[in-house]
Structure 1
Amino acid sequence: MPPSARELLSRLAPDFPVRHAGEIFTDTTQFMRIGYGDVIRLADRNFLVLRDEAERRFGLEDPKYWVKRCRCLETGGRNLLKLVFHESFPMTIGSMVVTCTRSPRKESRILDLVRGDDRFMQGETVPDTEDNPVRILDVVAGKRLDEKIEALEMPHRDYFHDLFPDILDRFIEACEAIGWLHERNEKHGDIRRDHLYVRYDTGRYCWIDFDYTFDFQESPFGLDLFGLGNIIQFLVGMGQHTLQSVPPDQRADLSSADCSIMFPNRIVNLKKLFPYIPEALNNVLMRFSLEANVFYDATTDLVRDLHQAREALGG
């Protein structure tokens, strides 16, 4: 008879309080049943579930019940296990509608493609007994880029002249990483500022979470590009600026044409707030505005314009 979770934990995790020992799961289909103290067995490895993962967005915790933070009982290493969860929803960008779909097998394909490339999170896929593709992810040793920016306590002018040039250099490299995916006819699928980490050891930026794909008939990689646009707006502004957050005297000089096509209350014409922003950089931001007539179709075009903007910064 195979050992129970209690017996397994007593032997391989003697520091774990056995009173919290749960069940051993080899089928992860019903992921809501799997929680703290349970063990997920995949091939010859056992993973102790410590908690459900959660994303913190807009000041709120958003639990992800299909993502388990675990300890591998054989190695002692920490991993995230992403279990199979399907969903689909529409996203509106101006007058365009994009269908987004969660695809575990697409993420597995990306993990295979980027193996050994530290511009992307690393992991592998191991099927459970019901052939669900469970992704075993290495925890990125780093901090979210947006949290590092939001933690800064300095005037925007000092940030823009002293820190932003290096940040832009690294962000251009991160855009080139996305371009590398696109050249291989793959998409990131869920580019957001909380999906870009700064590695502790090298300072290099690292993309996480590849399990969304999208159907954007107007532009095959368009949603990835709009995501990159949202991040560069955040980085240039040293945070998010909205019509509601700016002082009344600045608000009077702004219109809907100065705002984002994806988030109509977010200001992208940041030169109106910070006049020292070079025109070349502000022109990139305005390609993501409500008044834009032409959008980026290829990451190479965005990278080219970002390089030109970087030259305008000097240094």
Structure 2
Amino acid sequence: MRALVERFKPPVGVSSYGSVFTDTTEFMSITYGDVISVGGRHYLVMGDERERRFGMEDPKFWVKRCVELESGQYRILKLEFAETFDQHIGPLTIPCHRSAAKEARILRLVEGDPRFMQGKSYRDARGNIVRVLERVAGRRLDLNVEDIHADHRTYFHEIYPGILERFVRACKAIHFLHENGETHGDIRRDHLYVDHASGEYCWIDFDYGFDAAENPFGLDLFGLGNILAFITGKGVHTIQDRAQADPAGPDVSEADCALFFRHRIVNLRKLFPYVPEDLNRVLMHYSSASEVYYETVPELLADLEPCLDTLRRL
């Protein structure tokens, strides 16, 4: 094992080596310099993955940044961490759970499909499911959008149509999961990556599940709506921020805001009058004033895809 480390160790170097783990149950004990042996391969641990949201970093102790010693390639190992929790979305409380088995199923389902992160799953010596993931060669969609240095009008007319076209294809990828009885479970704008080479969108992280008997796909649909509002508005717009930025601007009420996030404006025509009415109607299906909500991806796309033709005519 030391010979493998010496041959393939990363440029940062490893001055002292830890232990070799064939049982990943106690993942908190697996740290920098240790090696995880699973699936006939060996993975040198370089640290814990961190989730970056709202300007903060949260360590994910069950997700390890690794180098596969046999090849020298970068890999992410997600170790089995079963938990149940309540997800609070606006006024709703939704029972959720983290499932390594669910993510392993989806990885098998989407093998070779560039619309999803790629990886394989193995069981360690104790029977825990370890997912060995390839790094997505791209960057988060929300960071890409935030870094576009253009006013909203220029962005909307010149850049947004291409973003929306690729987002439609990303929605069809989620429909593929639904057709196969699976859900993504945690659709957020930081879970959609832009491939550096192709510019296409790639979904990551499938280990969340949720209990919603009335509509098992409902939470995924609202996640898609949140991303749509973000890319259309070139960011999140709230009642409070809008009032501070433009006190004499249009009157915006709770009816113009999202059902689950009562401060986030989805009636974007009030802020940007050049947003076409048909596109704004799609957004308003996600508002607290709506009486009809999308229940399937095809329902959403039936309204959203014609908006691409509208944008091309602007």
TM-score with structure 2 length normalisation?
A: 0.95
Does the 8 Å contact 1:94/1:290 carry over to 2?
no
1:289 alignment partner in structure 2: 287
Partner SS state of residue 137, structure 1: strand
Q: Distance in 1 between matches of 2:286 and 2:27?
A: 38
Q: Distance in 2 between matches of 1:16 and 1:229?
A: 42
Return closer, same or farther for 1:273/1:10 CA change in 2, 3 Å cut-off. same
Q: Distance in 2 between matches of 1:145 and 1:250?
A: 32
Per-residue deviation, residues 15-48 of structure 1 (Å, max 9, x unmatched): 6645331111111111111111111111321100
Per-residue deviation, residues 197-234 of structure 1 (Å, max 9, x unmatched): 01111111000000001111231100000000000000
Return closer, same or farther for 1:249/1:66 CA change in 2, 3 Å cut-off. same
Partner SS state of residue 245, structure 1: helix
Residues 65-76 of structure 1: pairs in structure 2 closer than 5 A? 65-76=61-72
1:157 alignment partner in structure 2: 153
Return closer, same or farther for 1:295/1:94 CA change in 2, 3 Å cut-off. farther
Determine whether 1:209 maps to 2:199: no
Partner SS state of residue 97, structure 1: strand
**Between 34-43 and 136-145, the greater mean CA deviation after superposition:** 34-43
Q: Distance in 2 between matches of 1:101 and 1:18?
A: 36
Determine whether 1:303 maps to 2:301: yes
Shift of 1:91: 2.7
Per-residue deviation, residues 160-201 of structure 1 (Å, max 9, x unmatched): 000000100000000000011111111011100000001111
2:182 alignment partner in structure 1: 186
Of the candidates 223, 236, 242, which is equivalent to residue 240 of structure 1? 236
Q: CA RMSD in A?
A: 1.6
Determine whether 1:146 maps to 2:107: no
Q: Distance in 2 between matches of 1:104 and 1:36?
A: 23
1:37 alignment partner in structure 2: 33
1:274 alignment partner in structure 2: 272
Does the 8 Å contact 2:8/2:72 carry over to 1?
no
1:56 alignment partner in structure 2: 52
Return closer, same or farther for 1:232/1:193 CA change in 2, 3 Å cut-off. same
TM-score with structure 1 length normalisation?
A: 0.94
Shift of 1:86: 1.5
Q: Distance in 2 between matches of 1:43 and 1:203?
A: 32
Partner SS state of residue 56, structure 1: strand
Q: Distance in 2 between matches of 1:249 and 1:180?
A: 44
Of the candidates 242, 257, 260, which is equivalent to residue 258 of structure 2? 260
Poorly superposed stretches of 4+, deviation over 6 Å? none
Identity %: 54
Does the 8 Å contact 2:229/2:283 carry over to 1?
yes
The one-letter code matched in structure 2 to 1:179 is: H
Does the 8 Å contact 1:102/1:213 carry over to 2?
yes
Return closer, same or farther for 1:215/1:21 CA change in 2, 3 Å cut-off. same
- Where structure 1 has 5 or more consecutive residues not aligned to the other structure, the ranges are none
2:162 alignment partner in structure 1: 166
- Where structure 2 has 5 or more consecutive residues not aligned to the other structure, the ranges are none
Shift of 1:264: 1.2
**Between 110-119 and 85-94, the greater mean CA deviation after superposition:** 85-94
2:194 alignment partner in structure 1: 198
Return closer, same or farther for 1:255/1:64 CA change in 2, 3 Å cut-off. same
